[in-house]
Chain A
Amino acid sequence: MKLDLKEVKRLAELARLASSDAELEKMRDELGRILEYVTRLSNIDTAGIPETESDLMMLPSREDEAFPCDEATRQFILSNFPDRAGDALRVPAVFEKPKG
């Protein structure tokens, strides 16, 4: 099972990965072999089988709300910013081609 190069290029774009054509060519082969292995799953009859059925016990859902963070933790988070302006995170512009 071999993917075509166009498809691998499209995948790299979706995954936000920039790879050279040589790398993509190599990956095309590797991905094909791995996908071929896992294709065995399609031979199993799963008609009427639910997607989850587990005996895992979990905590019930909770409200999605902010909880306080101590000053030390806050400072570490800020110090991990790749670029900052004071306490704000500086990011590249989202709109690259403003309408003239």
Chain B
Amino acid sequence: MDFLNQTIASAHLGLERGDFSSVELTQAYLKQIHGLNATFNAYLTVLDESALEAAKQSDVRRAADQSLGSLDGIPLAVKDNILIQNTRTTAGSKILENYIAPNDATVIRKLRDGGAVFLGKTNMDEFALGSSTENSAYGPTKHPRDLDRVPGGTSGGSACAVAADLCVAALGSDTGGSIRQPAAFCGIIGLKPTYGRVSRSGLMAAASSFDQIGSLTKTVKDAEILFSAIHGCDPLDQTTAPNQPFRMDYPKKIDGLRIGLPKQAWGEGMTDGVRTHVMEGIKILEALGAQIVEVSLPYMDEALAVYYVLNFCEVSANLSRFDGMRFGLREKAASLMETYMQSRTQGFGPEVRRRIMLGTYALSKGYYDAYYRQARKVRTLIHRAYAEVFKTVDVLITPTAPSTAFKIGEKISDPLTLYLEDIFTVGVNVVGIPALSISCGDHEGLPVGMQIMGKMFDEGKILDIAYAFEQATKI
């Protein structure tokens, strides 16, 4: 019997009906990983033993009629910057090659409380800095449909694992598009929740004012299940917001809904294939009852610049904790200063070093006002621009990325070109709103992603729209 190709909802149904046990399901996925991971490099660590143990316990609970709900016994993958206690956690970096997480992240504790099974830790750009998963110290992850191409990034391992069916669903993190862009490239659903709605406790910090944990799933329903499980206020993360109601209606039609298309986004900066497919997606939403209006959303190029300046600054501050002293790599050297320098230089890859240098520059005396402070002020203006546009529309739609998955090596040699890849996704993180990417067809065999952005705490609405779209386009 084929236990694979499961969604969370279908696996839950199969477990409830007794079609298979969690141990059988988990074994099937582990077998799949051991057969295919050498090809895709989606996982950095596979947790055979603890996964099977968790699956066994889930089966015992189910047999005793004490199932914990829709995630009980479901095999998931977790990005390698999210802590699972007693598990190697590298964040894709050499500096943490032998680091063992001392505790569970809050999201892991919540999923554990729901009975979830963790198959392993997925590959990523080092410390979540990149757009292609080529910046991993452990080699790039491959695109599930074309091994010469990138899966996107930084949550490329999670996106590949979901799309190639090496897990049922996965967690990722999104600082400037790191869930949505790989989801778009791999043809799945990527949800980046509102900043502050999911605890970041136990997520290794990249840029703290942008980072957010979210999901990569095969269906909208699965995104809802994972979001329901992981969201909520957490005393361990001071930036979480007080709990807000969350509800999905699963509509077939979206009558009267106002969708804004920011005219600044629909200019030159995308390939024809992307434009055609996302426009077709929007036509489908129009046919489902939505009203499509062109809107103005200024500061689009500036949002990318704001994002990168603040990202450099926050990254350089956050990564100063890696000094070879309390944890991580320590290169023995003649003096304390040399120990710092050698540990950091040997431990960090080129992109991480580049961003630390840029952040150090932008925060240094004489440049602080021109870069850091000015970027913060422009961030305020961008906030105001989004607030203004959301007075007239319910959601905004753009492509998720300017192109489909590009070739490995195609953009990595030019950092700035790779940064421009994030033009459609970073605004969401600058402002803190929720957004998702859903596949709206293939161009020359590669998936195109459509990005739906909502108001603060409006995950329910963007998921509803995605659901209506998914049902209308289901083959």
Contacts and interface: CB of A to CB of B under 8 A. Distances in A.
Interface size class of A (residues with CB under 8 A): 35 or more
B329 interface: yes
B360 A44 contact: no
B56 interface: no
Given A17-B356, A49-B380, A56 B344 contact: no
A49 B335 contact: no
Interface in B377-418: 377-381, 383-384, 387, 415-416
B328 interface: yes
Contact of A38 (B86, B100, B305, B379): B305
Nearest to B239: A58
A42 to B, nearest CB: 6
Contact of B330 (A12, A42, A82): A82
Interface stretch (B106-114, B366-374, B440-448): B366-374
A38 B340 CA distance: 30
Contacts of B384: 53
B327 interface: yes
Contact of A52 (B374, B376, B415): B376
Contacts of A40: 301-302, 305
B376 A51 contact: yes
A69 B237 CA distance: 17
A90 B232 CA distance: 39
Contacts of B301: 40
A35 interface: yes
Nearest to B101: A76
A38 B195 CA distance: 24
B288 interface: no
Contacts of B233: 59
Contact of A96 (B85, B195, B335): B335
Given A18-B345, A54-B383, A76-B103, A41 B374 contact: yes
B17 interface: no
B326 A42 contact: no
Contacts of B103: 73, 76
A57 B241 contact: yes
B278 to A, nearest CB: 26
- SS class, residues of chain A in contact with chain B: loop
Contacts of A81: 326-327
B93 to A, nearest CB: 14
Nearest to B305: A38
Interface residues of B, number: 72
B456 A55 contact: yes
B383 A16 contact: no
Interface string A24-66: 0001001101110110111010100111111111110110000
Contacts of B449: none
Interface string A59-89: 1011000000000110011011111000001
A14 B384 CA distance: 36
Nearest to B377: A46
A31 B364 CA distance: 15
Contact of A59 (B240, B302, B305): B240
B344 A53 contact: no
Contacts of B102: 73, 76-77, 80
Contacts of A44: 299, 302, 374, 378, 381
B360 A11 contact: yes
B137 interface: no
Given A56-B432, A80-B327, A82-B328, A62 B238 contact: yes
Given A79-B100, A80-B100, A46 B335 contact: no
A83 B381 CA distance: 48
A80 to B, nearest CB: 4
A54 B379 CA distance: 9
B306 A41 contact: yes
Nearest to B353: A17
Given A15-B360, A59-B238, A77-B102, A94 B336 contact: yes
29 contacts: A8-B357, A14-B364, A15-B316, A15-B360, A16-B323, A17-B344, A18-B338, A18-B345, A27-B357, A42-B370, A44-B381, A46-B381, A54-B432, A56-B241, A58-B241, A59-B235, A59-B238, A72-B85, A76-B85, A76-B101, A80-B100, A81-B327, A82-B324, A82-B325, A82-B326, A82-B327, A82-B329, A92-B335, A93-B336
Given A27-B354, A96-B335, 8 more contacts: A34-B419, A38-B308, A46-B377, A46-B380, A53-B384, A73-B102, A80-B99, A80-B326
Instruction: Sort A-B residue pairs by CB-CB distance and give the 4 closest, nearest first.
Output: A76-B102, A82-B330, A46-B377, A18-B341
